[in-house]
Structure 1
Amino acid sequence: MFIRGIRGATTVEKNDANEIIEETKKLMSQIILQNNLEPDKVAQIFVSLTDDLNADFPAKAIRTMEGWSFVPVMCMQEITVPNALPKCIRIMATVNTNAAQSQIHHIYLNEAIILRPDLTK
C-alpha cells in the first residue's frame, strides 16, 4: 500500500455559502468516485480557498457526506498571487491506496480545468 495525494479544484461564481458548500461536495464526490475512495483509507484532507472566498468553510461539505465525518479536514487560505484564478476551491486528500501514481485521478471542475489541462480527460 502507498500513501498518495489526490488533487482537485473547482470554482464558484460568487462568495456565497451555499455555492461554496455545493461545489465542494461536487468536487469531493468526483474525487471519491474516480478514485474509489473509502473514508477509512483517507488520512486527511486539506481544503484551500482563494482570498475572495470566506462565506463558509468548505470542510463542512465534506464532513456532512455520509461516512466522512471522522476524516480530519482542514481549511486554509491560498497565498495571494497576481492574476491567479479567482474564486477557487482546492482539495488535497492524502490517501492509502494500492494504485500507482499514474492511476490517480486528479479532478478539476468549472473554471479550474485551466489549472491542469494535462490532467483533464
Structure 2
Amino acid sequence: MAVRAIRGATQLESDEREHMLERVSEMVLDAMGANGLTLDDFISVIFTATSDLHSEFPAYAARQLGFTDIPLICARELEIAGSMPRVVRMMAHVETDLARADITHVYLHGAAALRSDLAKVRSVPDA
C-alpha cells in the first residue's frame, strides 16, 4: 500500500453556497470513483479556492459526504493576473495500491482546461 496524491479542480458558475457544495461534492465523488477509493483510504485533503469564492468552505462539502474524521483544510489560491476565476482545487492524500501512473486526476467544468496535459484526466466541460 502506498501513499498517493490525487489532484482535482472544478470551476463554479457563480459564488453561491449550494452551487459550491454541489460542485465540490461532484469533484470529490468523481475522484473517489475514478480511483476506486473509500473514505477509509483518505489520509487528508487540502482544498484551495480563488479569492472570488467566499460563500462556503469547500471542505464543508466533504464533511457532508462523511469525511468527519479525516483532516481537511481550506486555503486561498494565489492571485495571479489572468488566472481562471471561481475555481476550487483539491489535493487528496490517500492510501492505495494504484501506481502513481494509474492515478486519475479529476478536472471538471471550466477547470478541465487547467491540466489538459494529463492523459488520465477525467474531465467534464461545461455544457
Q: TM-score if structure 1 supplies the norm length?
A: 0.95
| CA distance in 2 between partners of 1:116 and 1:58 (Å) | 20
How does 1:11-90 map onto structure 2 within 5 Å? Answer: 11-66=11-66, 68-90=67-89
What is residue 4 of structure 2 aligned with on the other side?
4
| CA distance in 2 between partners of 1:107 and 1:7 (Å) | 7
| CA distance in 1 between partners of 2:32 and 2:41 (Å) | 11
Q: Which aligned runs of 4 or more in structure 1 are off by greater than 3 angstroms?
A: none
Give the residue type in structure 1 aligned to 2:6.
I
- Please report the RMSD computed on the Cα atoms of aligned residues, expressed in angstroms: 1.0
Following superposition, the deviation at residue 8 of structure 1 comes to 0.3
What is residue 125 of structure 2 aligned with on the other side?
none
How many residues were matched structurally?
Answer: 120
Following superposition, the deviation at residue 95 of structure 1 comes to 0.6
Deviations along 1:21-49, whole A, 9 cap, x unmatched?
Answer: 11000000100100111212211000000
Deviations along 1:46-102, whole A, 9 cap, x unmatched?
Answer: 000001001110111001114x22111111110101101100000100011111011
Gaps of 5+ in 2: 123-127
Say which SS state the counterpart of residue 117 (structure 2) adopts: helix
Say which SS state the counterpart of residue 89 (structure 1) adopts: strand
Say which SS state the counterpart of residue 118 (structure 1) adopts: coil
**Could you tell me the percent identity over the aligned residues?**
32
| CA distance in 1 between partners of 2:117 and 2:64 (Å) | 31
Following superposition, the deviation at residue 118 of structure 1 comes to 2.4
Q: TM-score if structure 2 supplies the norm length?
A: 0.90
Say which SS state the counterpart of residue 115 (structure 1) adopts: helix
Give the residue type in structure 2 aligned to 1:8.
G
